[in-house]
Structure 1
Amino acid sequence: MDNESTGAAVPAGVIPPHIQDTDQLLDPVLFSNDNRNFKLKTVPAFSIHLLISSVISCVGIGLAALWPAERRCDAYFIMLYLRATFWVITYLFDHFVKIQHQKLRMSGYHDFHRETSMQKGIPLQVVSLWNSMLLAVQAMIHHYYGVSFWEHCAAGWLSPISYVTAFSVAENVVLAIFHGCYIDKVRKFNKANLAPDVLRGTDQVGGSLGLMQPGGDTAELLEKQADLIAYLRDHTHRLNLSMHKMQTNVRPVRTPQIP
Structure 2
Amino acid sequence: MESECTSAYGNNTNVDFTQSTDDDPLIDGPLISQDVLESVIKREFQKLPTHWAVGVLSFLHVVYVVVCIVITVFCWISDEYTTECTATLHGIDSKTVVLLGKVSLWVMVFIYDRFVQHHHSAVRRRGYLDFYRLTRGIKNLPLLIHSAGNAAILTVIAPSSMLDASVKNLSVYLLLAIICLELLLSVICLLRYTVHVLKFNSKKPHPDVTEEERSHACSSGSHTETGFRDGSSLEDVVEKQADLIDYLKQHNSVLSRRILTLTAQQIRA
For normalisation by structure 1, the TM-score amounts to 0.73
Q: Aligned partners of 1:233, 1:189: CA distance in 2, in Å? A: 24
1:126 to 112, 136, 145: 145
Decide whether the 8 Å contact of 1:76 with 1:164 is kept in 2: no
The yes-or-no answer on 1:164 pairing with 2:175 is yes
Decide whether the 8 Å contact of 1:60 with 1:161 is kept in 2: no
What is the percent sequence identity of the aligned residues? Answer: 25
Alignment-derived partner of residue 53 in structure 1 = 61
In the alignment, structure 1 segments of 5+ residues that lack a partner are 1-17, 146-151, 254-259
Residue identity matched to 2:212: G
Matches within 5 A, 1:159-238: 160-201=171-212, 207-208=223-224, 211-214=227-230, 216-238=232-254
2:132 to 113, 120, 126: 113
Alignment-derived partner of residue 76 in structure 1 = 95
Decide whether the 8 Å contact of 1:104 with 1:113 is kept in 2: yes
In the alignment, structure 2 segments of 5+ residues that lack a partner are 1-28, 87-91, 217-221
Alpha-carbon displacement from aligned partner over 1:99-135 (angstroms, at most 9, x marks no partner): 1111111111111111110001001100000001111
Q: Aligned partners of 1:97, 1:200: CA distance in 2, in Å? A: 25
Alignment-derived partner of residue 120 in structure 2 = 101
What RMSD, in angstroms, separates the aligned Cα atoms of the two structures? Answer: 3.4
Q: Aligned partners of 2:142, 2:183: CA distance in 1, in Å? A: 10
Residue identity matched to 2:43: N
Change (3 A) 1:24 1:241: farther
Structure having the higher helix fraction is: 2
Decide whether the 8 Å contact of 2:30 with 2:263 is kept in 1: no
Change (3 A) 1:214 1:60: closer
Q: Aligned partners of 1:212, 1:80: CA distance in 2, in Å? A: 51
Decide whether the 8 Å contact of 1:56 with 1:168 is kept in 2: no
Q: Aligned partners of 1:140, 1:83: CA distance in 2, in Å? A: 18
Shift of 1:218: 2.0
Decide whether the 8 Å contact of 1:130 with 1:167 is kept in 2: yes
After superposing the two structures, state which structure 1 stretch, 224-233 or 65-74, moved more.
65-74
Decide whether the 8 Å contact of 2:37 with 2:259 is kept in 1: no
Alignment-derived partner of residue 64 in structure 1 = 72
2:42 to 25, 29, 32: 32
Q: Aligned partners of 1:211, 1:111: CA distance in 2, in Å? A: 14
Q: Aligned partners of 1:42, 1:86: CA distance in 2, in Å? A: 18
Q: Aligned partners of 1:207, 1:98: CA distance in 2, in Å? A: 31
Q: Aligned partners of 2:37, 2:204: CA distance in 1, in Å? A: 26
Alignment-derived partner of residue 44 in structure 1 = 52
Decide whether the 8 Å contact of 1:43 with 1:186 is kept in 2: yes
Shift of 1:209: 6.1
Shift of 1:162: 4.2
